[in-house]
Structure 1
Amino acid sequence: MVAAKGKNAKERILAIDVGGTGLKAAIIDSHGNMETERLKVPTPHPCPPDLLVQTLVKLVTPLLTPLPATHISVGFPGVVRDNRILTAPNLGNEDWRDIPLAQMLTEHLGNLAVRIINDAEMQGLAAIEGKGLELVLTLGTGAGTALFRDGELMPHLELAHHPVSKNKTYDEYIGNAAREKAGNKRWNRRVEKIIGILYSLMHYDRLWIGGGNAANLNFVLPDNVKVVSNEAGIEGGSRLWHPRSVRETRQLPEANQRTGVFE
């Protein structure tokens, strides 16, 4: 059993981060603060939808028993539209075609409401400042991206599967398999090159780098590039249930921010 930390918030969100190598979950409050410790288990391979749901239910049950949740947020590594999964390249696209994952989780987790977005987008919701053009790059099993303008999420682009060098996609060029094959030194040169390419493409004001392999970066980052905590993939789940943009909620009066009232 996992003990809760701190006082119960008015809103308790079960935040789930689905990764190609690991599944993570914690209960957070309306500001993304951890109310429990973060639990993690390896991602099954192969990982069809039914097995993913079974594994997630087993993972989160110890969190929900002492501290019931009010909502569920999920970050998923693929294209998500209207709470349905359209692609899952690191889990097996053949099994993940138009899968109603939110509905499946609702049915297995006490009929709680579920919202799902791309995992890089959920991480970005915890990191961005809500000003200008902000890009998120996650370095994990693959390479995820998310784009925000003045705190608003822009349409999702699957840059991870776009060719970038010698017919290699971003995933194949700077994903974890590429790092293990090329070695950290060469992989770092590739990431540095990708940062330049992305700036030339988008002229972002800020680039946020997350994911487990962000810890392997060893070169000096440009002034407008910052590494974010790996826990952002969980913490961003709170923003899926706020009716206002990130920019608006962060400019609310301090009293509203304390109470968690965002309407």
Structure 2
Amino acid sequence: MKILVVDIGGTHVKVASSDHVVPLKIVSGPGMTAQNMVDQVRTATEGWEYDAISFGYPGPVAKDGPLAEPHNLAAGWVGFSYAQAFPGKKIRFINDAAMQALGGYRGGRMLFLGIGTGLGSCLIFDGTIVPLELAHLPYKKGRTYEQYIGLAGLERRGKKAWRKSVLKIVALLRAATVCDSVLLGGGNAKLMKKLPKGTSCGANSNAIQGGFALWAAPSSFGRAGD
């Protein structure tokens, strides 16, 4: 089975497939709707062959679509007919952080934190994926975790203060989730310098590999699409 992977982010939508493993980037942002995404993905992948699609979505999902509107994109994602937009294709949705985590998972209990435009989070507990929604929980000074270590926090506070906050939040959330390891992903993970033992930065290809793995062995990853 040939798979198309669509990783939907607040800055870019990345698209790859079994035959095109180096992802294409489509600019997203606060004006992007589900229909915009579909139109641009279909245009970018014209002539590609695929049987199934893995969508990584920045928010809670069911297997066939989003359950809530995204924070960093336009509205109109919930209730959109993705099956109609891609007729004849099998479709699965997974939280975008969970898809990245799945691509970088190597066993045990792992916390994934995606530090990009926003903050994605996911726990893989002995092979079972547990998508989390930590980004908008209050952290301190009336601001959320995402406002400290998402893009807005980086731009507001500068790299040095931002790195310190990342390390503090990693330690706090690792202790709270009782994890063996922490995997950092997202576009800004590369800005980190020294990381504590048990914390590492994931490869850029993790989201794409996670999208493939979602169909290759879904039963071994618990509620991967929920």
Question: Common fold, TM-score beyond 0.5?
Answer: yes
Q: Does 1:165 align with 2:155?
A: no
Unmatched runs of 5 consecutive residues or more in structure 2:
none
What CA distance in whole angstroms lies between the structure 2 residues aligned with 1:59 and 1:76? Answer: 19
Once the two structures are superposed, the pairs formed by residues 85-234 of structure 1 within 5 Å of their partners are 85-87=66-68, 88-92=70-74, 94-96=75-77, 98-100=78-80, 103-104=81-82, 106-131=83-108, 133-154=109-130, 156-218=131-193, 220-234=194-208
* Match of residue 6 from structure 1: none
What CA distance in whole angstroms lies between the structure 2 residues aligned with 1:122 and 1:90? Answer: 18
Q: Choose the corresponding residue for 2:26, options 41, 46, 51.
A: 41
Identical aligned residues as a percent: 35
The one-character-per-residue Cα deviations of 1:206-241 (angstroms, maximum 9, x if unpaired) are 1110111011112x2122111101221111001221
Between Structure 1 and Structure 2, the one with more strand by share is: 2
Deviation at 1:190, TM superposition (A): 0.7
Deviation at 1:44, TM superposition (A): 4.4
1:229 is paired with a residue whose SS is: coil
2:115–2:184: 8 Å Cα contact kept in structure 1? yes
Q: Does 1:13 align with 2:3?
A: yes
- Name the amino acid aligned to 1:150: D
The one-character-per-residue Cα deviations of 1:69-102 (angstroms, maximum 9, x if unpaired) are 121111011111232212211114x534x324xx
- Name the amino acid aligned to 1:185: K
Deviation at 1:246, TM superposition (A): 5.3
Deviation at 1:243, TM superposition (A): 3.8
* Match of residue 74 from structure 1: 55
1:114 is paired with a residue whose SS is: strand
What CA distance in whole angstroms lies between the structure 2 residues aligned with 1:36 and 1:21? Answer: 20
The one-character-per-residue Cα deviations of 1:146-170 (angstroms, maximum 9, x if unpaired) are 111111112x321011111212111
Q: Does 1:60 align with 2:42?
A: no
- Name the amino acid aligned to 1:40: K
Task: Please give the root-mean-square deviation of Cα atoms over the aligned residues, in Å.
Answer: 1.8
What CA distance in whole angstroms lies between the structure 2 residues aligned with 1:115 and 1:82? Answer: 5
With structure 2 as the length reference, what TM-score do the two structures score? 0.90
What CA distance in whole angstroms lies between the structure 1 residues aligned with 2:210 and 2:21? Answer: 15
Deviation at 1:50, TM superposition (A): 1.9
What CA distance in whole angstroms lies between the structure 2 residues aligned with 1:41 and 1:74? Answer: 14
2:98 is paired with a residue whose SS is: helix
* Match of residue 5 from structure 1: none
The one-character-per-residue Cα deviations of 1:117-139 (angstroms, maximum 9, x if unpaired) are 100000011111132x2111001
2:34–2:76: 8 Å Cα contact kept in structure 1? yes
1:129–1:151: 8 Å Cα contact kept in structure 2? no
1:49–1:95: 8 Å Cα contact kept in structure 2? yes
2:3–2:53: 8 Å Cα contact kept in structure 1? yes
1:139–1:211: 8 Å Cα contact kept in structure 2? yes
Deviation at 1:110, TM superposition (A): 4.0
Unmatched runs of 5 consecutive residues or more in structure 1:
1-10, 29-33, 248-263
Moved more, 230-239 or 116-125: 230-239
What CA distance in whole angstroms lies between the structure 1 residues aligned with 2:5 and 2:33? Answer: 21
2:12–2:25: 8 Å Cα contact kept in structure 1? yes
2:16 is paired with a residue whose SS is: strand
* Match of residue 253 from structure 1: none
What CA distance in whole angstroms lies between the structure 1 residues aligned with 2:79 and 2:14? Answer: 21
